[in-house]
A and B are shown apart, each in its own frame.
Chain A
Amino acid sequence: MALGTLMCILGIIFCIRTARTRFDRADSNKEVNLGITRIPALTLARLLAFVSLIVFPAGAVFLANYHTFEGVHEVRGCASCHVMLPMVNDLQDPKSGTLAARHYKNRWIAEDQCYTCHSDYGLAGNLEAKMTGFRHLARYTTHTYHEPIQARVRFDNKNCLNCHAGTPKFEAVQSHHTAHERLVSNEMICLNCHGQAHPTSVQRTPGSADYARLMERMK
C-alpha cells in the first residue's frame, strides 16, 4: 500500500519534470556528472522520461491490481462496497440460518469465504470471478446500479460439489444420486433443496423491514 502510494507520488513528480523538458532544444553534447560517471544530458532526460512515463505507471498499475486482486479475496474487500453489506452482515450473523452464514459460523470455510464460493474452479474460473468483480467495481464507482442488486452470473454447482461430493454425508442422500447428472450439468441447482444463500432481494430493497439492520457498517 505504502509502496504503491510512494510510487504514485514519485511518478507524478517525475511526469511534471519530464513535461518541462524540451527535448528538441537539448544539447546532445552537454554532459551531466552523476558522481560515478558522466552521461549526456539528453540521455538522462530520455531515461527519466522512460521511468516516469512507463516504469512508474506500470509499476503503480501492477501494484494497484495486485492489491485489488489479492484484496478481493478477503471478505473485507467485498464489504468495502456498501451494496455488499447485507451479504456480509448476514454472513457474519451467528443467528442467521442462510447457507452463507452457516458456512461461516461453523468455519466450514476458514477464510476468504466470499471468494471461495464465488470463484469457479480452474484458471478460467479465477479470471471470470475477477472480471465479475471489476465489473461490479465499475458499476459501483459510476453509480450505474440499483438496489437490490442481482447476480448476473449463474452460480455453478461445482462450487458446492467440489467440497461436498464424495463425503459420506452427501453420498448417503439418495436424491443426490437421483439428480446426479442434473446437478453436474447445472440443470438443477443445489439451492433448490438447500435453501437461501443470502438475504432475499426483498430484504435487500431499501425501505424493507430488514434493510437498516443489514446495511449497518461493520465494526
Chain B
Amino acid sequence: MSAEVSSEDENKSTSSDITRRDVLFTLGGLGAAIGAGAAMWGGLELMVRSRQTVDSWNKAVCRFCGTGCGVMVGMTDGRVVDVRGDELAHNKGVICIKGSMLPELTRISGRLRSPKIRKDGKLVDASWDEAMGLVAARFSECINQSGPDSVAFYGSGQLFTEESYTANKLFKAGIGTNNVDGNPRLCMASAASGYVSTFGKDEPPGCYADADYADCFFLIGSNAYECHQPIFERIRQRKRANPDTVIVCVDPRRTKTAEHSDIHLAVIPGTDLLLLNSMAFVIFDEGLHNQDFIDRHVRFSDGDHEADQAAFRKFLQPYAPEKVAQELGVSAADIRRVAYLFATSTATMSLWTMGINQRTQGTFLNNTINSLHLITGQIGRPGATPFSLTGQPNACGGVRDTGALSHALPGGRLVSNPQHRGEMEKIWNVPEGTISGKPGFDAVNLFRAMEDGRVKAALIMCTNPGASLPAAGRYHAAMEKCFTVVSDAFEDSETQRHAQVVLPAALWIEKEGVTGQGERRYQLTPKLLNPPAQARSDLQILTDLAVRLGHDKLIAARTPQAVWDEWREVSAHSLYNFKGITYDRLEKERGIQWPCPSEDHPGTARRYVEGEDPFVTKGAGIEFYGNHDKKAVVYLRPYAPSPEKTSAEYPLYLTTWPVLEQFHTGTMTDRIAELHKATGNATFDLNPEDAHTLGVQTGDRVEVKSKYGTVLGQARTTQASRPGVIFAAFYDAKLLVNRAVADNYDPTSKEPEFKVTAVSVRKVTA
C-alpha cells in the first residue's frame, strides 16, 4: 500500500496534463485494436472458404419416375456437375440413388447423333431433311391409299406435356385417326379407368403430403421402397415420428418394401381381388363402415345397373375371409386384422402401382380399393386417400390429362362421346366431324394391327416397346412388317432394330417442357444443355412432321411455351382447369397442383374437398363432382381367376419386378456404370423349395417357358420369393423376360397383365 501512496504523490501534479501525445497514443492504440479485429474477421472470411463447387444452381425435375422430385442442378462451365434434392419442392429435398446419378445421364455414351434410314437392311446416317421427307412421304402415302387409320402414334409417359399434346392434336384433329396410344397403357391405364369409373374424373384425389398424416399405410402391388423411394422414405419418416403408424404390404414377393412393413401378406399372384372383397366383407360384418359417409356421398352399382348397400353386402357373402383364405394363400385372421386396421385408423392411405394395374382385373381392383376408402369414409381428410403411384414422370400430366390415348380426348373427354368430340372440334377450330368416333388401337392391339397390316406406318417416340411389351418376340416381328419410325435419345434399342427410320432426340434438360407427376402437380424442366450433334426435341420433330403433312395451320404453336399456353386455354373448358398455371409461375414456384383456374389460385392439394378444390359447392364439405349426382360409385366387382392359371404343363407363376437402381427397361440407367454394377445381370429368382424340386441351384442356367415365349437365364434361390412363383427383374435387355410374359389384357383399360404368367422351368445343361 505504501507503493501506491508514493506514486500518487508524484502523479498528482501531472494528472490533469493530458498531452497531445497521450491522445495520439490512445487513438493509435484504439485504431490498432480495431485494425487487428477487422484483420482477424477478414482473415476468417477468407479462410472459411466457400466450398461451393458450382457456378449456378438451377431448379429442374428429375428425369426418372412418376414421383417427379424437384432437383437442383449444379452447373459449372456448361456442364452438370452436381444434382441435389430441392428442399423447397414437394419432396423436401429427398431424391433417390437414380436421381443422384443424374449428372451421369448428361454424359452417357451411346447417344444417337444423326437421323438414320434403313438401306439394304442397315441403318445409315441421313440428313434431317432426307429422313423427315421419307417419313412424311410414307405417312402421306398410307393415309391416301389406306385411310388415316393406317397410321399410328405410339408415345410415352416420358415425353413432355407439350409433345404429347401436339402429337394427339396432329393425329386426332389433323390426320383424323384415333390411333394415338403409348406406354402409359402398359402401366397407368387401369388406375385411370378405375378413378374415372369411381369418381367420374381421372387422377388421384390426394397428394404426397397425405403420407405425413396417415396412421395406416396399405401398400398393395407396390414396391415403393425400390420404385418410389422418396415417397417410401416419407412413409418411414411418418412412422419414426409416430411409432404407432402401421404399414401393411401386400405382395407375393418379400420385397424391400415388405421387409420394412409391419404386416406382409404374401398372396398368390392374381388373387388379390379376393383379399379386397374379403376386407369389404369384414368391414360390413364387424360394423366398421361409415354409414353417414355412405349415405351422403356413395352410390352402389354392379357396373350395368344401380345397386344398393344390401345388394353389395349380399355380393360380399362368398368373400368371407375363411372362404377365400386358401385360394389367396394368407390366413383368415390376417385378412380380418388388416381390414380392421384399414377401417379404424385415424387416416388410411392406400398406395399401389403395377401389381394392381398390370392385371386382367386391373380396373376392378382399382375400383375396389377406391370402394374400401368410400365405405369407411377414409377419404377427403389429410392422410385418408386412395393413391395410385405413377411409374413415369409424365404419364399423368402428359398423357392422361391431354387424352393422348386411343379412347380419349383432352380433359377427360372420350372419342366415343359425340358431345365431347364436338367440344374439342370447336376448341381446336376444326370442321365438325374431323375427329373420328372410332376409338383407335390400344397398345397391344396397335402392335397386333401392325402385325396383320391394318397399321402400315407408325411413329414411336421416347419409348422402347421392343423391350417393354409383353410377349415381346411376337411384336418384334410386327414392327418389321410396318414402316416404323423411332425417335429416341440412345442408339441401338430393341425397338430400333426393327425400325425403318431412327431420329435422334434431345434428353431431359436438353429441351424445355412441363411434366405432371403423380399428385396432379405440373413442374417445369428448363433447357440447360444443348442436345448432342444433330439431336432435336420431340416437339421439333412433331411440328416438322405436321408442316410436311400440311397441318401447319392446325399446329401453329411451335415452341414449348406457346403449346403450353394453348393447352392451358383448352384445359379451362374442363374440370381439369389449370389456366392459372403459367410458365411464369412454373419458373418461380415449385410446381402447382391442378385444379388451378386462375393465376392467383394456389393450386389444389386435396380434390373434392371444400376449401381446397375450387369446383366443390360451398357448404358441401366433400363433393364428388365428377359424377352427375355428385356421388362416388362403389362397384360390385366379382373376382375372376387370371386366364393364366397354373397347370401340369406350366406349374409355376412368373412375375416381373423392378429394382431400385434401374428405371424401367434400363435404357438410361443400365448405361450408368455404377448402377449397372449395382444390379448386374437380371436373374430368375425362385424359392429354395421350388429350386430343390427342380434340381436347380444358384448360378444354374434355366429355361423359363410360357405359351408366349421362352427365355434362358441364370437362376438364383432366395427366401424373398414365395413358393410357386418365379420372379425376374425386367430392366435387363439381355434377359428380356417380357418375351415370356403373357399379353392378356384388362377388357376395360386394355392394360396387359404383366404380373401373372404360367410358366414351366427347366434346368439347362450345357
- Using a CB–CB cutoff of 8 Å, the interface residues on chain A facing chain B are 17, 20-22, 25-26, 30, 32-34, 41, 44-45, 95-97, 102, 128, 131-132, 134-135, 138, 152-154, 174-175, 177-179, 182, 187-189, 191-196, 200-202
Given the contacts A191-B85, A192-B100, A153 and B51 also touching, CB distance less than 8 Å: yes
Q: How far is the CA of A95 from the CA of B226 in the complex (A)?
A: 27
Decide yes or no whether B538 CB sits under 8 A from chain A.
no
Please list the 8 inter-chain residue pairs (A to B) with the smallest Cβ-Cβ separation, ordered nearest first.
A154-B51, A178-B678, A175-B97, A135-B44, A195-B94, A32-B3, A138-B41, A97-B237
- Verify A195–B85 contact, CB threshold 8 A: yes
Enumerate chain B residues within 8 angstroms of A97, measured Cβ to Cβ: 212, 237-238, 240-241
Q: Which of B10-18, B512-520, B558-566, B624-632 lies at the binding interface?
A: B10-18
Instruction: Please give, as numbers and ranges, the residues of chain A lying within 8 Å of B375 by CB-CB distance.
Output: none
Residue of chain B at shortest CB distance from A202:
B88
Q: Are B99 and A135 closer than 8 Å at their CB atoms?
A: no
- Say which size band chain B's interface belongs to: 35 or more
B674 touches A20 (CB 8 A): no
Contact between chains at B92 and A132 (CB < 8 Å): no
Q: Is the beta-carbon distance between B87 and A196 smaller than 8 angstroms?
A: yes
Query: A17 CA to B6 CA in the complex, in Å?
Result: 13
Give B34-68 as 1s and 0s: 1 = Cβ < 8 Å from A's Cβ atoms.
00000001001101111111000000000000000
CB nearest neighbor in A for B5: A32
Give Cα A182–Cα B47 distance, bound, in whole angstroms: 26
Chain B: residues with CB nearer than 8 A to chain A? Answer: 2-4, 6-7, 10-11, 14-15, 41, 44-45, 47-53, 82-85, 87-88, 92-97, 99-100, 212, 229, 233, 237-238, 240-241, 660-661, 674-675, 677-678
8 contacts between A and B (CB under 8 A): A45-B7, A102-B241, A131-B47, A138-B41, A153-B51, A178-B677, A192-B83, A195-B233
Cα–Cα distance between A115 and B300 once the two chains are bound (Å): 60
Contacts of B14 in A (CB 8 A): 22
Contact, CB under 8 Å: A195 / B237: yes
- CB closest chain-B residue, reference A102: B240
Would you call B100 and A193 a contact (CB within 8 A)? yes
Contacting B2 at CB < 8 Å: which of A32, A131, A194?
A32
Please give, as numbers and ranges, the residues of chain B lying within 8 Å of A32 by CB-CB distance: 2-3, 6
Which residues of the partner chain B approach A21 to less than 8 Å between Cβ atoms? 7, 11
Interface pair B677/A135, CB less than 8 Å apart: no
A26 proximity list for chain B (CB < 8 A): 10
Tell me which residues across on chain B come within 8 A of A154, comparing CB atoms: 51-53
Q: Is B48 in contact with A128, judged by CB distance below 8 angstroms?
A: yes
Identity of the chain A residue whose Cβ is nearest the Cβ of B38 in the assembled complex: A138
**Which partner residue on chain B sits nearest A30 by CB separation?**
B6
State the Cβ distance, B256 to closest chain A Cβ, in Å.
9
**Which residues from A are CB-within-8-Å of B83?**
192
A-side contacts of B11, CB under 8 Å: 20-22
Minimal beta-carbon separation of B426 from chain A (angstroms): 43
Chain A residue contacts of B88, Cβ below 8 A = 200-202
Query: Which chain B residues border A44 with CB–CB below 8 Å?
Result: 3
* Nearest B residue to A152, CB-CB: B50
In the bound complex, residues from chain A placing their C-beta under 8 Å from that of B52 are: 152, 154
- From known contacts A193-B100, A195-B233, A196-B93, infer whether A132 and B678 are also in contact, taking CB-CB under 8 Å: no
Chain B contacts for A191, CB-based, 8 A: 84-85, 93
**CA of A56 to CA of B92, assembled, Å:** 52
Chain B residues closer than 8 Å to A128, beta-carbon distance: 48
Q: Are B661 and A178 within 8 A (Cβ)?
A: yes
| B82 nearest CB neighbor, chain A only | A187
Chain A's closest residue to B3 (CB) is A32
Interchain nearest-CB distance for A26 vs B (Å): 8
Give 14 A-B pairs besides A96-B241, A135-B44, A182-B674 with Cβ atoms closer than 8 angstroms: A20-B15, A22-B10, A41-B6, A97-B212, A131-B48, A174-B661, A174-B678, A178-B675, A182-B100, A192-B93, A192-B96, A192-B100, A196-B94, A200-B88
Contacts of B240 in A (CB 8 A): 97, 102
